[in-house]
Structure 1
């Protein structure tokens, strides 16, 4: 059985900035040293007299070699980045970045810096060797070989709930999440872990989510420890857990007193730095007796092949066999004990009398669900309508969905006026596809035991758009592009991505024109296509038009689309802003004193 053994513990006597603690070899001595940033904007190197006083608020810190044989200290502040060489006791470079540096990663000799809507790649001299744009403030960065081509891609988590994967400076794909992405971490084999501000922890392999869990605490750090198959997560509240990287299964749990600032792995040791400045180092320990017991159980039972529907390979180690089989047997035992306990409770005399007097729910009782767009409610919303047959009533409904409800779940349970019908209103703030996991509790008013109906309904990406009539005003903004498809195929995409009462039919030789309006902003969205493959998207919101084009490209597996866009209202706003900037710049260059008086 795995366990953590304390290797060392000490205190820095300084409060630490979250995520601003690392360890590295800072000079030719090859000795590993701890580097932390304090809340008083100082960088302290443990066991040395070196203290760096920074005149700006520190928000990120990293140690990495940038063309050197040892590590440099990279310090990100609210307005700049500083690279410091401990060996030479000098600043290698300092570069102003107006929106600050909130996250770091290293690519060879480049320091990758996450900022507001942009990622910078700086070389050892502080020169820009890489730059790309993102959608919002970048909170986390990591390198991961997503497509398994031997070259790492850049994974960026941002404040707008998106995880973006870049190949060079081009966006490979993006993943929509339900909160700000505070951490991303490479797990190898095209897999990476991620954490959100709402306490969600999960993993993706490429664009496919492998698993996810939810906690009340936030993730402070993600590391791979003690092996490449184990993800260790340090939670802000002091909890440490180790999980199988492939499925999220918990292998080990520990708890520390205090709040975690950061965690990292050096020299096969897990180091946890707390916000109060205390530092804890751990090594792995294994109870060999438990492993030996697992081996003997396997040999005694002869469980070498076909165990619970899977075949054990002959070359697998006995220890691995023991862990897997004993775990499966333990889960099966727990399920059987719970089931047995329920049978025992139902056999008690009091329960038997109650159950005999209760009405039984007919076996042919069924639950119907329907998703419709209701623009008559205030505010307009999507409605999940549920109805049950055989005069039964709906006692409660639980809906689990990402990004719709606070806490990702919604519960309603009428206490009076019971009915066979119930309606749940859904209002999405973003255009994302969502799976609704619905649990409906059905019975009668006097029932003490309820039947649970479970089902899943898919909510399409653009469900917050309703059809409008042909007299709706045409938006000025538009984007035009051509695809090698026919109008009936685009009609199929519309039917799958919008919530429609009746599907849109389109003949093979006819053109397509569909008009929607947004129930969030009341703006119009027109989608048109002719027989030549020319598609026109009309809307005054450039971001929405971009999302529609991206969704179409993903559906038809199109990697490149040449688009002609025209957004007069947004171009007018941009021109007005540019003119104001130019006017203020001219005033500043001609008369700084007058400008100062105007500001005062």
Structure 2
């Protein structure tokens, strides 16, 4: 696709289209907490089964719980006031927080889950007891409660993402399933049907369905340019009734955010839109919430610069915006018990946006028959401190209009009160319990406010808006036409300027210099891809159809370059500018990627002006694999590792797949299914070779490669391309097995050292306690020489504790590094199989690691989950 233009480059090729300016989003209520909120560690739980409580991690290894429903004599408070904020001391760095119900033993109450670098805690807030405490040697970087999957007979689980691993814990804390991930788990998302989407540090997003026996089935797998920090399924809060009403068309629709600042949405593996802001303005939190009240949730995203945006899931269009004074730390949905039940089919609850400095703003979904716009609110005193008669009461200066919004203190069965219809001139509403709790007072709504509310509703595209649907459609059409008009005006002005210069040159004015920047009107640019193995990379060839020259090329594409880089600029000076330009390109991965190209074309190399041509092309999958003739591969070039399996497809089908995928000529040597298939490839990324052969006489196939990762990539692509549902294999990779053996030895040493250091630290801690008691006794008895000596010894012992702590921290880091490598080997071994065979390998390897059966682990990697070979 090629377009020609003059001026600044437009966004193209999978990027989110420019959206009209968004409407400002006004909070229904707001308050400020005195505690900071750590990024992505907030949730809302119904710990008593009825009332929502905002929970978040703060500094000092603590968790605070803000309960706006707190009354006197609750939580150990005196009769003079009710404390709304309670604290839970974890005394460790908190990495993840979640809340939800597990099992029926807690009468529908939510349980608080806290993850740290070494363990996972399940805590019953209502009874002040631990439900379970489980060690997590691989860490707990992400927590998420997975709903029950009736189709697979899987109960609700707590998902714990760690260091290259994902495990599911049941209501008792026992491990229900375990699987490997390609890197550290950075985000988790759960679809309404129980499908689990896992985002990892290396940018992979993998969705799988877990069965009752602990096995998994992969639904789809995609890759982004950087770590995927947030995954938000579109139907995360929807139940079966909503799916029956609206259909399953959005069953795999989800939004995502990456560490490099990208925000986008996919329908399964298909990219719908993507927009990149840069790492400085990366997304820090995200949630799905039906703010417009049209029955379909929007994606609400908070950014590091304090901006919050509400976007349409499928198009990325920005509907509303709000701005905070501090970075957003979390966006959560608060619901009462009744609202949670209603949310299975309708929009319910409140959206809470939490800033890192403790500011919290609440938003309510647009309801049917309403036309209210809630004005901006002021801040009162700290919600957790207060300055009034009651502890924790917000000053009455905080105001809200219309009706109670979120955390309103209403009873669970109390229906929400709505504003009067727009026909009423003015009416004051009865104060809600939120007003009495937080000091909020109702304001009257005038006809002028209601008129602006109607405009707000039409701009947001809400079906229940007082304006007719045709008016909203007309407004959207006018905005689109106006944008097109402005674009055409710019292009027309450019062409008029060029025509004027041409007329002046024809009349002899300007000495011919006016033609210096003009190019023929029929100028076109063509593109093609070439591969040159001698250069170690591919080339993008850009050519013009006349004497014009290429002065520069801009390439833009996610996944087209190493690391988080997504664009490159190539400049050709006056001497090197020519009509044929060659640009090196070699994606770091093996997946296909789309690239947008902006070609700067000028009349000559010395021309000070240029014209920009926009092109789009797709780099095919396995572009970095160069086909080789089999007779070119010497004995020394044959890789040492291999994976063998029974031929699952005929020779003709395999040869056709090889030609389509790797752009080789394997089919020329295959006449029928009785022919053998042989081919070889050079991987430009690392210079290694991959050799494949399928022998019709023995009915076996073999892939030879230097690494398990390279062979697994080939096997996985072959199974997908040929429609193979299940594949078992036998693997032999001596170098990687030797490295795994050394890693397991390091793991054993580090585990033994951890136990030794823990015992020594315990002895030193006891000595500290004894010295403290001795020093205090001496001080009370005014034996100051003895007290001075005790405090001196205490100082020395404390310094020893600090040294021991640094040793433990270093040992823990090395242990995590070794465990990560073990999990990566398990993941690579599973990719040498497909379907049920891969699931058996993961399950068997996990069992061998838990039981510390090293030799069994090696046999499983070599022969699969069947554990052949004795």
More helix by share: 2
1:270 matched to 2:354? The reply is no
1: distance between equivalents of 2:322 and 2:503? 46
CA shift at 1:451, angstroms?
A: 4.0
2: distance between equivalents of 1:374 and 1:275? 51
1: distance between equivalents of 2:688 and 2:547? 42
CA shift at 1:341, angstroms?
A: 4.2
2: distance between equivalents of 1:317 and 1:547? 56
1:358 alignment counterpart: 515
CA change 1:45–1:211 in 2 (3 A) is same
1:332 matched to 2:473? The reply is no
SS of residue matched to 1:40? coil
2: distance between equivalents of 1:329 and 1:15? 45
1:312 alignment counterpart: none
1:383 alignment counterpart: 539
Match of 1:462 among 622, 630, 636: 622
CA change 1:100–1:372 in 2 (3 A) is same
Aligned length: 570
Match of 2:554 among 395, 398, 401: 398
TM-score by length of 2: 0.60
CA change 1:324–1:265 in 2 (3 A) is farther
1:13 alignment counterpart: 34
CA shift at 1:159, angstroms?
A: 1.0
1:310 alignment counterpart: none
CA change 1:25–1:416 in 2 (3 A) is same
Mapping 1:29-108, distance limit 5 Å: 30-46=50-66, 47-48=83-84, 50-67=86-103, 68=106, 69-108=108-147
CA shift at 1:208, angstroms?
A: 1.8
2: distance between equivalents of 1:465 and 1:180? 25
Mapping 1:166-565, distance limit 5 Å: 166-168=208-210, 169-172=215-218, 173-188=220-235, 189-190=250-251, 191-216=253-278, 217-225=281-289, 226=291, 227=293, 228-267=296-335, 268-283=349-364, 289=451, 319-344=468-493, 346-347=495-496, 357-358=514-515, 361-362=519-520, 365-377=523-535, 380-405=536-561, 406-417=564-575, 418-445=577-604, 450-468=610-628, 469-471=632-634, 473-498=637-662, 505-509=668-672, 510-531=675-696, 534-565=700-731
2: distance between equivalents of 1:176 and 1:260? 26
1:574 matched to 2:740? The reply is yes
Which deviates further from its counterpart, 326-335 or 542-551?
A: 326-335
CA shift at 1:272, angstroms?
A: 1.4
2: distance between equivalents of 1:275 and 1:333? 39
Which deviates further from its counterpart, 574-583 or 453-462?
A: 574-583
1: distance between equivalents of 2:198 and 2:747? 31
CA shift at 1:104, angstroms?
A: 1.5
Name stretches of at least 5 consecutive residues in structure 2 with no aligned partner. 1-21, 67-82, 148-155, 236-249, 336-348, 366-371, 374-448, 507-513, 761-807, 812-870
Highest RCO, 1 vs 2 (Cα 8 Å, sep ≥ 6): 2
CA change 1:161–1:393 in 2 (3 A) is same
Structure whose alpha-carbon radius of gyration is higher:
2
CA shift at 1:499, angstroms?
A: 6.0
CA-to-aligned-CA distance 1:221-260 (integer Å, 9 cap, x gap) = 2212214342111112111111111211111222222111
Q: 8 Å contact 1:373–1:499 — kept in the other structure?
A: no
More strand by share: 1
Q: 8 Å contact 1:478–1:536 — kept in the other structure?
A: yes
CA change 1:266–1:70 in 2 (3 A) is same
Q: 8 Å contact 2:680–2:689 — kept in the other structure?
A: yes
CA shift at 1:459, angstroms?
A: 1.8
CA shift at 1:423, angstroms?
A: 1.9
Which deviates further from its counterpart, 329-338 or 319-328?
A: 319-328
Q: 8 Å contact 1:229–1:246 — kept in the other structure?
A: no
Which deviates further from its counterpart, 10-19 or 480-489?
A: 480-489
Name stretches of at least 5 consecutive residues in structure 1 with no aligned partner. 146-150, 298-314
Q: 8 Å contact 1:180–1:197 — kept in the other structure?
A: yes
Q: 8 Å contact 1:345–1:351 — kept in the other structure?
A: no
SS of residue matched to 2:41? strand
Which deviates further from its counterpart, 352-361 or 483-492?
A: 352-361
CA-to-aligned-CA distance 1:317-352 (integer Å, 9 cap, x gap) = 974443334212211122113313442454469656
CA change 1:453–1:6 in 2 (3 A) is closer
- Report the aligned-residue RMSD: 3.4
Q: 8 Å contact 1:463–1:499 — kept in the other structure?
A: no
CA change 1:578–1:343 in 2 (3 A) is closer
SS of residue matched to 1:493? helix
2: distance between equivalents of 1:544 and 1:492? 21
SS of residue matched to 1:135? coil
CA change 1:42–1:295 in 2 (3 A) is closer
CA change 1:419–1:503 in 2 (3 A) is farther
1: distance between equivalents of 2:45 and 2:751? 45
2: distance between equivalents of 1:164 and 1:508? 39
CA change 1:362–1:499 in 2 (3 A) is farther
Which deviates further from its counterpart, 49-58 or 355-364?
A: 355-364
